[in-house]
Amino acid sequence: MAGVGYNVAKALSALGNKVTLLSLVGQDLAGTHVQTALAADGLDGTHVLATVPHTAQSVILYDPTGRRQIYTDLKDIQERAYPLARFEQLLLHCDLCVLCNINFSRALLQPARAAGKLIATDVHTIADLDDAYNGEFMRMAHVLFMSHERLPCSPEEWAAAILGRYGPEVLVIGLGDEGALLALRAEGVAGRFPALQTRPIVSTVGAGDALFSALVDGYFRTRDARYALQRAILFASHKIGAAGAAEGFLTAPELDQLLAQR
């Protein structure tokens, strides 16, 4: 698996996947901290390149109920490119590309498609069917994930419109504490899947990444989108019992055991 963000990489690794993490960090203290954190988490930082002056950062505030507010400073990373030749070489050894919608992933979409790889992406909060920034990501993704937070209509209406315009194999819209909605190219809108609570909520920061990661993992393993989403909701419900955005991830055996108990 190639091209994922740190939280997603850690979650996919916890679930037993071999992850090749591709990213850009700064030639600064924050970039050094990223490499240290990767090593501490057992993630290979070989292809996390310090080719920009400053590392993109976010500040996340959350209250005791888990509601969050995020402030992001991307520095100049949106104007930077990941080395295409390096990506194409790594592509030979992966089965799935998780290419989230940072701008340097854009140039990686077509090579991944041309190589016949399964592509998954998360376009996060979106409100416009003709979104100029995210349109290419939505068109290229086999597995497409997004949030309901800014939708201009009901999730069901939006899902039907996305299927009609972009035609992903699998579309999941995260609905926060209401769970998630699943739509399939072969069937249309498949319905809502309710949220679960496996332990007290500490923070919802990283919940979307956890849901997306486990969805991708389950669908890659089984090609059963309904099973993958049910399993992903359980994975995310456990994750939000931890404070850190990259903490609280179950292993695959732990998740399967928890799923068998439901």
SS3 sequence, the chain? CECCCHHHHHHHHHCCCCCECCEEEECCHHHHHHHHHHHHCCCCCCCEEEEECCCCEEEEEECCCCCEEEEEECCCHHHCCCCHHHHHHHHCCCCEEECCCCHHHHHHHHHHHHCCCEEEEEEEECCCCCCCCCHHHHHHCCEEEEECCCCCCCHHHHHHHHHHHCCCCEEEEECHHHCEEEEECCCEEEEEECCCCCCCCCCCCCHHHHHHHHHHHHHHHHCCHHHHHHHHHHHHHHHCCCCCCCCCCCCHHHHHHHHHHC
CA-CA-CA-CA torsion for 236, 95, 167, 9, nearest 10 degrees? Answer: 30
Q: What is the pLDDT of residue 133?
A: 96
Q: What is the pTM of this model?
A: 0.93
192 has pLDDT over 90: yes
Flag whether pLDDT at 63 surpasses 90: no
How much is the average pLDDT of 42-63? 88
Q: What is the mean pLDDT of residues 206-210?
A: 91
The whole-number average pLDDT for the span 230-251 is 92
- Residue 130: is its pLDDT beyond 80? yes
- pLDDT score of 61: 79
pLDDT band at 12 (very low <50, low <70, confident <90, very high): very high
Q: How far lies 74's CA from each of 16, 163, 166, in Å?
A: 30, 31, 28
Band the pLDDT of 68: cuts 50, 70, 90.
Answer: low
Q: Identify the residue whose tokens are 């419900």.
A: 237
Domain regions of the chain by residue span: 6-261
The pLDDT of residue 203 is 83
Mean pLDDT of 6-26: 93
pLDDT digits (tens, 9 = 90+) for 26-38: 999 999 999 999 9
167-186 mean pLDDT: 97
Tell me the average pLDDT of the chain.
93
- Banded model confidence at residue 71, pLDDT cuts 50, 70, 90: confident
pLDDT (0 to 100) of residue 4: 57
Q: What is the pLDDT of residues 95-115, one digit of tens each?
A: 999 999 999 999 999 999 999
Its CATH class, for the domain covering 6-261, is alpha beta
